[in-house]
A and B are shown apart, each in its own frame.
Chain A
């Protein structure tokens, strides 16, 4: 351990002054000797300081001047500081490496984006899934490298509450991405590989579609033979009833297959639906008229068209939405009940509601009612017919039109089904069409 700066200095100054004093007294010219000693001391100090400066600049780890010399203590202090800094740096490095290793071990990709949506950092999985280069792509705008139009729209809309599914840059891969804003305008982009899930979903959908198609032709054959059997005069009276029942069941099976095909087509179709203006008021009017001609129907069946607004979309799909809802209401409402349909517009968009005084749905089951083949009361539902797929079709068709289905119901009192279509999907009919259209009633 080197002595402190002051003792080292005092010792040297004392020695030099003593020597000057002795020489001055013995040889004479004391003042000159003292001056020479002070000058020498000054020179020595300047030399030492220059040495220190050089040592600091070159940053050599060990110096000959380390322990001896007047600045030994300062050298030692600096050495210690350096060592401490080195140790701290090592610790940070280790910590950083651990963090990096753990994020790299993650299956999900993570990309940190700054306020301008430029890449600030990414882990291994992200570079693999998105085809990014961690070394070079920092500072790149994320949509310059992840260019899928859906992703670009997702970033531009800045609405990150939902995940986005999109094809990955590598072939036949599918990704699910979500942006999570945090801190000071930074964003974390989470990327998941959902290729397997998408493939399974495709397989399931293809399977359902194929099975439905395969069932269709044998059903047609059976239905044909049953029909000629029913018309056969020589048929024994005992068999009349069973054949009629068989015909009914085949018809039901046919409609289930038909609905399954419709549903799988809706699911497989790319979102969103087309943009052709569909004259919904006219369609509702026709459905209403058809319903009025039924023999078994509730005594009151009303349609109120409060707007002539149309919806942009696919005519066929919208037709199945309204006809399914109307058929459901007709099915579950007793003859003395009443059904009221309404088509109206407000600032949020256009809406269709259908209110019945039917059996209603228990509140706990409302969220499940749009599931495939879900029945509130299985015995009864089968009695009144229906495929169990109607509301699933309604839900999917509405989703494709940017709309949603709202259900309010009370058991015993009746239900209200409301279809909401956003303003973006709404169009007013051209004026001449409005004038020419017969006033609905």
Chain B
């Protein structure tokens, strides 16, 4: 994978700058991961205090996005990167936007959690929601790991996880509709649940974008809006052939 090799620059300061940039993007990713994890916990445990704390901490994500954005502009202005380095920076600029959106969705979930905590809790303690959230968290982690390792194979595998998440989201939505039809008194609560599920599903989409940037960064090919099967065949032969 020497197309994305960062190790050979005459200027070692440039190298350090790029390394630091990558580290801070992943640190932002870590913060977003923990925001999501705590937001989900707030929903499942019905902890309104935790929910509000998560919503407050979203500013930290926003601050990091601005910092990294500025660092990227600075590198472009002072170093005029080309080829792989330019792709790295472009991909990072895009990735932080997605990370920031994930942070926003986590904030939404946390706010909804605070609201849900004041309502009656269902007997299953939002088991379906917790399962969907688990898969979304896993996907986000896999996407960030692929970004850290510049691993296109893992990125392609992660892209495929989105379908399972979409299916799960659909089934939760259907279930929610059934609940609302059976007992109109639950409508306001169940509406909140569908919004949480919707936010989780959106996070899956953002994680998918991050995987696409990884492929772009390594191979220089933009695979957005391409057929997934083709992407899989091209960049990770033999990985996801049986799926879909």
Contact = CB atoms under 8 A, between A and B. Distances in A.
A146 B19 CA distance: 16
Contact of A141 (B19, B137, B138): B19
A148 B29 CA distance: 9
B213 to A, nearest CB: 16
Given A140-B149, A144-B148, A270-B53, A167 B141 contact: no
Centre residue among B26, B137, B151 by max chain A CB count within 10 A: B26
Contact of A145 (B34, B49, B148): B148
Contact of B33 (A136, A144, A147): A147
Nearest to A136: B149
B148 to A, nearest CB: 4
Contacts of B149: 133, 136-137, 140, 145
Which secondary structure characterizes the binding site on chain B? Answer: helix
Nearest to A171: B134
Interface size class of B (residues with CB under 8 A): 20 to 34
5 contacts: A141-B19, A143-B23, A144-B148, A147-B27, A150-B34
Nearest to B19: A141
A144 B53 contact: no
Contacts of B218: none
Contacts of A136: 149, 151
B198 interface: no
Interface string A108-143: 000000000000000000000001010011001101
A152 B30 contact: yes
Nearest to B138: A171
B37 interface: yes
Contacts of A145: 26, 145, 148-149
A276 to B, nearest CB: 11
Nearest to B40: A171
B50 interface: yes
A402 interface: no
B144 interface: yes
Given A141-B19, A171-B134, A148 B33 contact: yes
A144 B29 CA distance: 9
B176 interface: no
Centre residue among A137, A169, A171 by max chain B CB count within 10 A: A171
B214 to A, nearest CB: 13
Interface string A145-172: 1111111100000000000000101010
A39 B114 CA distance: 101
A269 interface: yes
A398 to B, nearest CB: 20
A149 B23 contact: no
Interface in A59-111: none
A148 B33 CA distance: 8
Given A131-B145, A141-B19, A269 B26 contact: no
A270 B23 CA distance: 26
B160 interface: no
A147 B144 contact: yes
A167 B33 CA distance: 11
Given A133-B149, A150-B34, 11 more contacts: A131-B145, A141-B26, A144-B23, A147-B31, A147-B33, A147-B144, A149-B34, A152-B30, A167-B37, A171-B134, A269-B49
